[in-house]
Structure 1
Amino acid sequence: MTLSTRLRKIAAALWPGTLASQLIVLLLVAIVVAQALSLWIFHDERRIALVAAARDNLLSRAVALAGLMEDTPPDLQERILVASSSRFAVFWLGDTPLAPTPGSSRIEHRLQGYMAKDLKPGQAVHLNILADEKRGPPRRKDDDDDKRSWRDVPRPERPKNLHRIMNKPEDLSISISMNDGRWLNVATSYRPPAGAFLPLLVQLALTALLVVLIVGLALRRVTRPLKDLSVRAEKFGRGEEQEPLTPSGPREVRALTTAFNDMQDRLTRFVKDRTRMLAAISHDLRTPITSLRLRAEFIDDDENREKVIETLDEMAAMTEAALRFAKDEAQAEKAENADLGAILEALAGDQQDLGHECTVVESSERIVLPCRPMALRRALRNLIENGIRYGEAVTVSAEIEDHEAVIRVRDKGPGIPADRLKDVFEPFVRLEESRSEETGGIGLGLAITRSIIHAHGGRISLTNRPEGGLEAVVRLPLGAGR
């Protein structure tokens, strides 16, 4: 098994199966992707805001403070610098510039030009943007000597209030030369603290929680009637009598429920009408067949009389069988859960009491399925009796495969020609090679069996076994509970 196949199997196992869970997962993925794209698109927002703030406020303050320091007595300069500093910007006078050289980028050139307009002749300004293009702590190359952090300031030259931003990422360094040879240094850090993304995560979590609650409640209104409809359709497929569903949910779901109710009503009436018609025809044929049989007794030719009577007897048997079939179909047997193993054991015991060889292979687990027990017994009895009649000995087994109850009836007979395997399920069809009038019926047994199996929502098929004999395979659904 290749890696891609394993990954596909793992993904299929992890992917939720219900409509509600799939839609919730897709919405959550969409929210997370949208938030990630928003963060990526606006990742430079903080740096742009920094430049704008520096142009409008910080640079003007630095230039004004440089001019003020020239006119302030030395004993007051330190107090003014401390008062001008904040938790985002620190001012101090030092012998060396914090920014050793002027910045070389386009933005740095523009800002340095903006400040130089307000400086006195002979004053120089060095401005370095130390923040990365991307959001997060800056990454400075080890061999980049043009960019100097305030962490590189010798400890004796560090101002007392530099500790305010020492643990923050660097954003901007400014150095303005003074007439006495010193430099007015400005260190800034307008970066958000380390936990700045926590509100975003809380917002994302609250959004996801609200999506799950709202979508879950909305989908429950949609999927609940759909689930009821699925259960009713499965029971109706097994031939159980069902009351019409009450339409509920959105308009589309109500329309679907109404259409299902109409379909169920039409099919039920169609089957009942056909059954009643078959019963009526079979019943009405009794009188003319009886009359013809009485008239046949007056035929002088013995040979012709016997053949006519034999034909009429066969017609009478066919009529009685059709009438019994119609009556059985008209009976509304209530569906219930039945033990399939017990049914097979009882049928095999009946055949053994008659002296026939019929064996049931014990199943490894108990199989309980919803069915109409009397009808199912009749279908399985027909299969077993056919196997005994034409194959002498029968072996019956039952097991669970792919959420279905699979029943296999095997005999040791000659089998059936491959091109006639499907024909034997048609009403009144007999294979003359092995099903003579002396040993066979009239050809309704397998037709009745198939009708009953289909009414239970199952399937039936016949195959010739390689080692000889015929195998009938019946597959019945286990119901929604399995």
Structure 2
Amino acid sequence: MTLRLFPRSLAGQLSVLLIAAVLIAQVVTLAFFAESRRSAIDAAAREQVLGRIATLANLIEETPAGQRDRILGALSTSRLTYSITPEPLVRNAVTAWPDDETRAKLDEIFGPGRQVRAEFADDDRTGIDAHMSMHGNGLGPGARQKGKRWPPTLALSVLLSDGKWLNSETLLPRPQLWAWPVVMSTFLTVIAISLVMALSVRRITKPLREMAQASDRLGRGESVPDLPERGPEEIARANRAFNAMQARVSRFVADRTRMVAAISHDLRTPLTSLRLRAEFIDDDETRERMVATIDEMTRMAEATLAFARDDAAGEESRNTDLVALVEAVSADFSDLGHDVGMEGPEHLYLSVRPVSLRRALRNLVENAVRYGLRARVRLERTATGVVIAVDDDGPGIPENKMEEVFAPFTRLETSRNLETGGVGLGLATARSIVRAHGGELTLANRPGGGLTAAIHLPVAAET
């Protein structure tokens, strides 16, 4: 079974795409925000360190030489160390700010004229590692393990009034860019947008689902009420067009059905008159042939009228146990002495018009026992619907006649005997009924001889 990561429904696809767009936008925004926040925190931390050592330099210059080491030791921490050396630990006066305002910033903090050497390192510490270490605590770039990522470091060397250098090395704090408030804000934003989007998409797609269900029911021959013309303008217009189409189709079918019924009904009177007149013909052979022809025409007219009346009755669909329906038809023919068998599941329910479907199945079973000696009815569920197959042991049908036999009043039996050949409306009626259910009736010759007539009925569309 294949796992579908992308939903098939319109609502699902719109939801996934919109949530993905929101997440991408949030990630890009947070990336810019994080970089800006990191730069601001780094600049503030460096300026704070410079101000601190500037204050310390002024204090050391006013402190006796014997007390300087005690003051520096008290102020040193695991992330900040101070030392006084004859030579500056920062050999090269690289800057803490990579711009032209560095000198002005140092003069502003330390006072004009004081020699200050500053060096800032983030990941690439080679310039500092060559000549600096955290004296006394083993921390800092000089003690860094190979391959280990350390926080950014700011090293300073300030010239004192007595010619010595006050050195400091500070491990600057690494800002936490992806804090919980940021993550929660992103999460809540996605949830809020998803809820609004879900309500909007549901409002848009609900009329589409209703139209799909109505189309499926209409295709299966059920009566469908007019769709409400609501929602966005495009969907309301589509519903309006669907309602108009349904009305036109219904009028067309009703008009044609009434016309066929009227013609069949009107033919009965002249046929009756012709039969009465034929009875007065003296030639017995001619009279019998004419009466037989008129009787055949009468049977055809009556069959057409019965079909038109049944079609115009407008039977409603209802949930029906097809197994019970097939068993009832098989039992009717078995009671008449025909060899009819049936196989299938214990129960199989489907929404159909049972009277019409029973008539279609009776026509197929009747053809099977008439031309194929016996009938075997198979009922099974498939991936797309239900199949009712009727097998017989007859001669089959030539391949070039498979479609022709569905035409009304078409008979392959050439005896013109109404008892053995019928009037040629059985398959036409059966196919019309099956297609009115949204299904299809197919014929196929069996490999071992005989014919299979299969009714394919679709299941209702999923909502």
For normalisation by structure 2, the TM-score amounts to 0.84
Q: Relative to 1, partners in 2 of residues 1:83 and 1:277: Cα closer, same or farther, differing over 3 Å?
A: farther
Most deviating of 62-71 and 213-222:
62-71
Partner of 2:200: 218
Partner of 1:136: none
Equivalent-residue separation in structure 2 for 1:261 and 1:16 (angstroms): 30
Partner of 1:164: none
Q: Relative to 1, partners in 2 of residues 1:150 and 1:412: Cα closer, same or farther, differing over 3 Å?
A: farther
Work out which of the residue numbers 151, 155, 168 in structure 2 matches 1:185: 168
Cα shift readout 1:360-383 (whole Å, capped 9, x = no counterpart) = 1132x5210001111110011111
Contact 2:377 2:389 in 1 (8 A): yes
Work out which of the residue numbers 123, 127, 134 in structure 1 matches 2:119: 127
AA partner of residue 189 (structure 1)? L
Equivalent-residue separation in structure 2 for 1:338 and 1:422 (angstroms): 30
Partner of 1:22: 13
CA apart distance, 1:402: 1.1
Equivalent-residue separation in structure 1 for 2:426 and 2:380 (angstroms): 24
Partner of 1:176: 158
Contact 1:99 1:147 in 2 (8 A): no
Partner of 1:393: 374
RMSD: 3.8
Equivalent-residue separation in structure 2 for 1:28 and 1:149 (angstroms): 52
Partner of 1:36: 27
Q: Relative to 1, partners in 2 of residues 1:113 and 1:448: Cα closer, same or farther, differing over 3 Å?
A: same
Q: Relative to 1, partners in 2 of residues 1:424 and 1:63: Cα closer, same or farther, differing over 3 Å?
A: same
Most deviating of 59-68 and 391-400:
59-68
Contact 2:440 2:455 in 1 (8 A): yes
Equivalent-residue separation in structure 1 for 2:459 and 2:385 (angstroms): 5
Partner of 2:36: 45
Cα shift readout 1:128-151 (whole Å, capped 9, x = no counterpart) = 22x24xxxxxxx67xx46348998
CA apart distance, 1:458: 0.9
Most deviating of 232-241 and 392-401:
232-241
CA apart distance, 1:477: 2.0
Q: Relative to 1, partners in 2 of residues 1:358 and 1:49: Cα closer, same or farther, differing over 3 Å?
A: same
Partner of 1:162: none
Q: Relative to 1, partners in 2 of residues 1:98 and 1:18: Cα closer, same or farther, differing over 3 Å?
A: farther
Unaligned runs of 5+ in 1: 1-5, 133-139, 159-166
Partner of 2:409: 428
Contact 2:385 2:457 in 1 (8 A): yes
SS across alignment from 1:442: coil
CA apart distance, 1:405: 0.9
Contact 2:434 2:440 in 1 (8 A): yes
Equivalent-residue separation in structure 1 for 2:135 and 2:315 (angstroms): 96
Work out which of the residue numbers 296, 299, 302 in structure 1 matches 2:281: 299
Partner of 1:135: none
Q: Relative to 1, partners in 2 of residues 1:79 and 1:340: Cα closer, same or farther, differing over 3 Å?
A: farther
SS across alignment from 1:287: helix
CA apart distance, 1:301: 3.6
* Aligned residue runs from structure 1 range 78-93, under 5 A: 92-93=82-83
CA apart distance, 1:337: 0.5
Cα shift readout 1:83-120 (whole Å, capped 9, x = no counterpart) = 9999xx96844449996443769965867655676777
Partner of 1:230: 212
Q: Relative to 1, partners in 2 of residues 1:156 and 1:280: Cα closer, same or farther, differing over 3 Å?
A: closer
Equivalent-residue separation in structure 1 for 2:378 and 2:88 (angstroms): 91
Work out which of the residue numbers 353, 362, 366 in structure 1 matches 2:347: 366
AA partner of residue 68 (structure 1)? N
AA partner of residue 17 (structure 1)? R
Work out which of the residue numbers 351, 357, 376 in structure 1 matches 2:333: 351
Partner of 1:476: 457
Contact 2:229 2:239 in 1 (8 A): yes
Partner of 1:275: 257
CA apart distance, 1:236: 1.9
Partner of 1:379: 360
AA partner of residue 325 (structure 1)? F
Equivalent-residue separation in structure 2 for 1:416 and 1:350 (angstroms): 26
Equivalent-residue separation in structure 2 for 1:325 and 1:369 (angstroms): 24
Equivalent-residue separation in structure 2 for 1:407 and 1:18 (angstroms): 31
CA apart distance, 1:426: 1.3
Cα shift readout 1:149-196 (whole Å, capped 9, x = no counterpart) = 9984422999xxxxxxxx993353333343442324252525323x74
* Aligned residue runs from structure 1 range 256-267, under 5 A: 256-267=238-249
Cα shift readout 1:429-449 (whole Å, capped 9, x = no counterpart) = 111368854411111111110
SS across alignment from 1:325: helix
Unaligned runs of 5+ in 2: 141-148
The answer to whether 1:447 aligns with 2:424 is no
Equivalent-residue separation in structure 2 for 1:416 and 1:423 (angstroms): 10
Work out which of the residue numbers 92, 111, 129 in structure 2 matches 1:102: 92
Most deviating of 20-29 and 177-186:
177-186
Equivalent-residue separation in structure 1 for 2:326 and 2:131 (angstroms): 89
SS across alignment from 1:155: coil
CA apart distance, 1:231: 2.1
Contact 1:98 1:173 in 2 (8 A): no
* Aligned residue runs from structure 1 range 305-320, under 5 A: 305-320=287-302
Q: Relative to 1, partners in 2 of residues 1:58 and 1:354: Cα closer, same or farther, differing over 3 Å?
A: same
Equivalent-residue separation in structure 1 for 2:422 and 2:103 (angstroms): 111
CA apart distance, 1:63: 8.0
AA partner of residue 119 (structure 2)? L
CA apart distance, 1:270: 1.1
AA partner of residue 172 (structure 2)? S
* Aligned residue runs from structure 1 range 150-165, under 5 A: 152-155=134-137
Contact 1:63 1:119 in 2 (8 A): no
Equivalent-residue separation in structure 2 for 1:459 and 1:218 (angstroms): 39
Q: Relative to 1, partners in 2 of residues 1:380 and 1:249: Cα closer, same or farther, differing over 3 Å?
A: same
Equivalent-residue separation in structure 2 for 1:39 and 1:120 (angstroms): 40
AA partner of residue 246 (structure 1)? P
Q: How many residue pairs are counted as aligned between the two chains?
A: 451
